[in-house]
Amino acid sequence: MKHNHISTGADLAMATVAPTSNNPAVASNHTENSEVKTWRGCLYLRISKEDGDKEESESITNQRALLLGHAEKLPGVTIVATKVDDGWSGANFQRPAFIEMMEEIRAGKIDCVLVKDLTRFGRNFGESGKYIEHVFPFLGVRFISVNDGIDSANKKGRSDDIVVPFLNLISDAYCRDISIKIRSQLETKRRKGDFVGAFAVYGYKRGDDSEVGYNRNRLLVDDPAADVVKMIFQWKLDGLSADAVANKLNTLGIPSPMAYKKLQGLNFSTSFAISGSANAKWSAMAVFRILKDETYTGTLVQGKVATPNHKVKKKFQKPTADWARVDGMHEPIINIGDFNLVQRLLERDTRISPKDGESVYPFSGMARCGMCGENMVRKTSHSNGKTYVYLVCCRKCKGSRIKEDLLAECVKLALQSHIDNIMNLDRVLRFIEELPLKQDEVQKLDGQIAAKRAEMERYEALVMSLYENMESGIINQAEYRQMKTRYNALHADAEQAINSLNREIADIINIGGEKNRWIEQFKEYQNFGELSRRMVVSLVDAVTVHPGNKLDLLFRYRYDYERCISFVRAVGQLHDISTVGTGAVGAVSTQSTKEAV
């Protein structure tokens, strides 16, 4: 069966903004009818043991009570019917009460459907999506799923279009016994590395052998200097240029790294109380050096690796071209997200020199001309005593120009809806987290680990008995050695298997954690007010300005975003979702096109 997509990417991307030149924020549908519309509601209740429903929590009585309680709070909604499919599976829609309800909807007797949650409605992603996204809107039916927080009457933007199919997908996946294998594509490789340089980088000091648990080959945080490093990154993130940062440090009388080292050599341990000497000031270069140093993220970067792994103590030299990067070798001073952000800022800031020398404008280095691909630059013009700020192509292409505040408003709106989408995605991912199939998976792996442990114990016992066997003459010395070697190897194999099983478990548990850290980046701006430079650089890759105030907006982390979408899709893919495949996932666009007339 062929039908239109549930909602298209273009739809979603274009829908949010239709600004005018006077008021770019004007939303398209603000002329809502003010009088309360009346709805003839129908409660749809369903229970089926086949679906694994638990009698107590899903009982018809419970469903009815919940729905009635909810309906009471909805202005204009009167319950005119209740349809009950008791003992009918949600896998399809061939259910007597459901069919009856659809007939009454078509006859105009019902125009509002209430369910406890989507699984009550149906457990088939494709079919449910068809009803909720197509049939109901077409028939003017308001659809309410209480526990999912879905009510088609109060759509906020278009983000609901996404969450419904997603949640549907999940309930579909939930229905079937799917075992998902979640493995990180890139396995985390941990190697041991020692700091072998002569001097610790500013912000750190070398470990002292006299301190318990530390050694000279580990970097320790040097608190006073580390605080300065943190300040430097913070100021950079706030939009200060390297020059401005250096000036600020000098104004505060903070000694430069060079001066600090000297002061320490003279045994001034808390040298920050003392004003820096005049001959060793901070320079933009010194600030740059700090901003670019990966060491602050806890990664040790150097030309040598001291030891290849924790078993081999011997050190060896590596070619300098082959720089070694070892993660997690010392306590980070700057989190990796901020560090990467600063790297991006540094890349972008190169061509910018704002007049006040202090801050960088939100779109500096971010906007490109759609005609020639070159950077857009900021131009101010005055007319009638007013100041207008435009971004224009640095090559002066005619047509590629846009008012800065209009650009900001459009980007802001686009980001708002993108963040909404990501929050929905996040919800879905966390939902998947809690699916029993994941716990099943972990349990299975746990079982395998237990088996391997038992194996290890058996080999240990065998090795123990070998000696006795040799003593009592059952085996000779050569056999003893041979067998011992063999058992030890098997023992080691089992141990290794346990390690990799443990890693697998960690991966499964981590799908919503570590690997989706990018979501946190967006979450941080969930309720943002004004668009800041930091936010733009964090979340947007590029803005392209086409003639006629058309914008292309490329979000950051779009590949991660797509990866998560595919993951969510994969969860439901074991079954036929071909009817919605393009709809649900196609609804997600990481590239947004805006008309900003």
When the beta carbons of 207 and 370 are compared against Zn ion, the nearer one is 370
Strand 142-145 to 540-546 pairing: unpaired
Instruction: Tell me whether residue 246 or residue 596 sits nearer to Zn ion (CB atom).
Output: 596
Rounded to a whole number of angstroms, the minimum distance from the CB of residue 30 to Zn ion is 35
Q: Which stretch binds Zn ion (CB under 5 A): 30-38, 48-56, 287-295, 369-377?
A: 369-377
Q: Which residues lie below 8 Å from residue 106, measured CB to CB, with a gap of 6+? A: 139
Nearer to Zn ion, 372 or 461 (CB): 372
> Are 98 and 26 a contacting pair, CB within 8 Å?
no
- Among 108-116, 181-189, 337-345, 367-375, which window interacts with Zn ion (CB under 5 A)? 367-375
**216/379 with CB nearer Zn ion:** 379
Q: Where are the alpha helices (DSSP H) in 16-94?
A: 55-58, 60-72
Distance between CA atoms of residues 585 and 587, nearest Å: 5
Based on CB atoms, which residue is closest to Zn ion, 547 or 581?
547
Q: Minimum distance from CB of 375 to Zn ion (Å)?
A: 9
CB of 373 to Zn ion, least distance (A): 7
Return phi, psi of residue 43, to 5°.
Answer: -85, 130
Q: What's the closest the beta carbon of residue 351 comes to Zn ion, in angstroms? A: 15
Q: Which of residues 377-416 bind Zn ion (CB under 5 A)?
A: 393, 395, 397
Residue type, 195: F
Give me the least distance between CB of 544 and Zn ion, in Å please. 10
324 bridge partner residues: 302
Q: Residue 13 Cβ, how far from Zn ion at the closest point, in Å?
A: 24
Cβ 399 to Zn ion, closest distance in Å?
9
Stretch that binds Zn ion, among 257-265, 362-370, 424-432, 523-531 (CB under 5 A): 362-370
Tell me the three-class secondary structure of 208-252, residue by residue: CCCCCCCCCCCEEECHHHHHHHHHHHHHHHCCECHHHHHHHHHHC
When the beta carbons of 110 and 369 are compared against Zn ion, the nearer one is 369
Choice between 329 and 367, CB closer to Zn ion:
367
Burial of 80 (0-12, 13-18, 19+ CB in 10 A): middle
**φ, ψ dihedrals at 21, nearest 5°:** -70, -30
- In this complex, which beta carbon is closest to Zn ion, that of residue 391 or of residue 406? 391
Q: Which is nearer to Zn ion, 219 or 369 (CB)?
A: 369
Does residue 113 contact residue 152 with C-beta atoms inside 8 Å?
Answer: no
Backbone angles phi, psi at 122, to 5 degrees: -175, 155
**Site stretch for Zn ion (CB under 5 A), options 119-127, 188-196, 371-379, 552-560:** 371-379
Of 337 and 547, which has the nearer Cβ to Zn ion? Answer: 547
Determine the longest span between alpha carbons in the chain, in angstroms: 110
Which of these ranges, 157-165, 178-186, 225-233, 370-378, lies near Zn ion under the rule CB under 5 A? 370-378
The answer for residues whose C-beta is within 8 angstroms of residue 420's C-beta and 6 or more apart is 156, 157, 159
Is 371 near Zn ion (CB under 5 A)? yes
- Within residues 554-573, the interface with Zn ion by CB under 5 A covers none
Interaction residues for Zn ion, span 134-193 (CB under 5 A): none
Q: Report how many helices (DSSP H) and strands (DSSP E) the chain contains, helices first.
A: 20, 16
Segment near Zn ion (CB under 5 A), from 273-281, 317-325, 361-369, 568-576? 361-369
Residue ranges in 277-403 assigned as alpha helix (H): 284-291, 336-349
470 CA to centre of own chain:
60
Question: Least distance to Zn ion from the beta carbon of 393, Å?
Answer: 3
Min CB(367)–Zn ion separation in Å: 11
Restricting to residues 241-260, which ones interact with Zn ion according to CB under 5 A?
A: none
Radius of gyration of the chain measured on its C-alpha atoms: 32
Distance CA 122, CA 124 (A): 6
Q: Which is nearer to Zn ion, 248 or 546 (CB)?
A: 546
Of the candidate residues 25, 65, 99, 372, the single one contacting Zn ion (CB under 5 A)? 372
CB of 547 to Zn ion, least distance (A): 10
Q: What residues contact residue 112 under an 8 Å CB cut-off, 6+ apart?
A: 39, 40, 41, 42, 77, 141, 142, 143, 144
Task: Tell me the closest approach of the beta carbon of residue 19 to Zn ion, in angstroms.
Answer: 23
Least distance CB 413 / Zn ion (angstroms): 25
- Least separation in angstroms between CB 374 and Zn ion: 5
Whether residue 181 contacts residue 26, with contact meaning beta carbons closer than 8 Å, is answered with no
3-state secondary structure of 524: coil
Q: Which residue, 367 or 501, has its beta carbon nearer to Zn ion?
A: 367
Task: Select the span of 162-170, 189-197, 320-328, 366-374 touching Zn ion (CB under 5 A).
Answer: 366-374
Site of tokens 């194999």: 493
- In the complex, the smallest distance separating the C-beta of residue 368 from Zn ion, rounded to whole angstroms, is 8
Name, in order, each residue with C-beta under 8 angstroms of 541's C-beta and a sequence gap of 6 or more: 554, 555, 556, 558
The dihedral sign for the CA sequence 383, 384, 389, 390: negative
CB atoms inside a 10 Å sphere around CB 45: 23
Number of residues binding to Zn ion, judged by CB under 5 A: 6
Instruction: Provide φ and ψ at 546, rounded to 5°.
Output: -100, 160
Q: Which CB atom, from 201 or from 551, has the smaller least distance to Zn ion?
A: 551
- Pick the closer one to Zn ion by CB: 290 or 393: 393
| 27 vs 372 by CB, closer to Zn ion | 372
Between CA 376 and CA 424 the distance in angstroms is 34
Q: Is 555 left (phi over 0), alpha (psi -120 to 50) or beta?
A: beta
Contacts to Zn ion by CB under 5 A: 369, 371-372, 393, 395, 397
